Chains A and B, each alone.
Chain A
Amino acid sequence: AQTVTQSQPEMSVQEAETVTLSCTYDTSENNYYLFWYKQPPSRQMILVIRQEAYKQQNATENRFSVNFQKAAKSFSLKISDSQLGDTAMYFCAFLNSGGYQKVTFGTGTKLQVIP
């Protein structure tokens, strides 16, 4: 079974600064997908960024980028130029590319952006 670990329950960052959220996972699969989802205080979950394991290039979406280290099974999220609207819970998630589409989530990191 796959496991996803987020070791930082809470983090804070000053507005306009950069912060990195950690995620590690455990799998014996070679092909899979990794995601970061954001849950703001409204509790509406939305996708932040997605990475396919077979792609070596790290995914980027505007101020959000990942550091994907397949051998180390690490998938960290970097938020640049942090904004107040980035305050939220962030969840790392894992999905196998084949078979049943079961998604495994980490326990989340609560990020507070300080003005």
Chain B
Amino acid sequence: DGGITQSPKYLFRKEGQNVTLSCEQNLNHDAMYWYRQDPGQGLRLIYYSQIVNDFQKGDIAEGYSVSREKKESFPLTVTSAQKNPTAFYLCASSTRATKNIQYFGAGTRLSVL
């Protein structure tokens, strides 16, 4: 089945630690996105990428980094510079061929120990 896989489902970060959230898609979508979801704030865009080896900062990129070395993969690293990382993180992908509809993964819940 085609879809987006996020892992892990739950992640815990220690003080000063970098952690990486995985996002893989087999939908052959060009664009991929990372969102952060906090209560009462909807989805806020962290980074997005339209093609391999290219990505753009979203609205809240500080303290995060990404890479897009393969079309299928768009990992997000939450660095120690992100002082309030506790949130629900969603990955999505889309393509113009399917009317730019975003397809989402099941999410990763990140908490600070």
Q: Evaluate contact between A33 and B45: CB separation under 8 angstroms.
A: no
Q: How large is the interface on A (under 10, 10 to 19, 20 to 34, 35 or more residues)?
A: 20 to 34
Q: Chain B: which residue is nearest A96 at the CB level?
A: B100
Q: Evaluate contact between B102 and A91: CB separation under 8 angstroms.
A: no
Q: Which of A14-22, A71-79, A80-88, A104-112 contacts B (4 or more CB under 8 A)?
A: A104-112
Q: Evaluate contact between A105 and B99: CB separation under 8 angstroms.
A: no
Q: Report A-chain residues with C-beta under 8 Å of the C-beta of B31.
A: 101
Complex formed: what's the CA distance from A50 to B96 in Å? 13
Q: Chain B: which residue is nearest A92 at the CB level?
A: B42
Q: Report A-chain residues with C-beta under 8 Å of the C-beta of B96.
A: 101
Given A100-B48, A103-B33, verify A45-B42 contact (CB < 8 Å): no
Q: How large is the interface on B (under 10, 10 to 19, 20 to 34, 35 or more residues)?
A: 20 to 34
Q: Report A-chain residues with C-beta under 8 Å of the C-beta of B35.
A: 105
Given A9-B40, A50-B99, verify A45-B90 contact (CB < 8 Å): yes
Q: Report A-chain residues with C-beta under 8 Å of the C-beta of B107.
A: 43-44
The 8 A CB mask of B10-35 against A (1 = contact, 0 = none) is 00000000000000000000010101
- Using a CB-CB cutoff of 8 Å, which residues 84-104 of chain B contact chain A? 88, 90, 92, 94, 96, 99-102, 104
- Shortest CB-to-CB span from A76 to chain B, Å, is 17
A102 contacts which of B40, B58, B90, B104 (Cβ < 8 Å)?
B58
B45 contacts which of A45, A47, A103 (Cβ < 8 Å)?
A103
Give B residues with C-beta under 8 Å from A.
31, 33, 35, 40-45, 48, 50, 56, 58, 88, 90, 92, 94, 96, 99-102, 104, 106-107
Give A residues with C-beta under 8 Å from B.
6, 9, 33, 35, 37, 43-47, 50, 91, 93, 95, 100-108
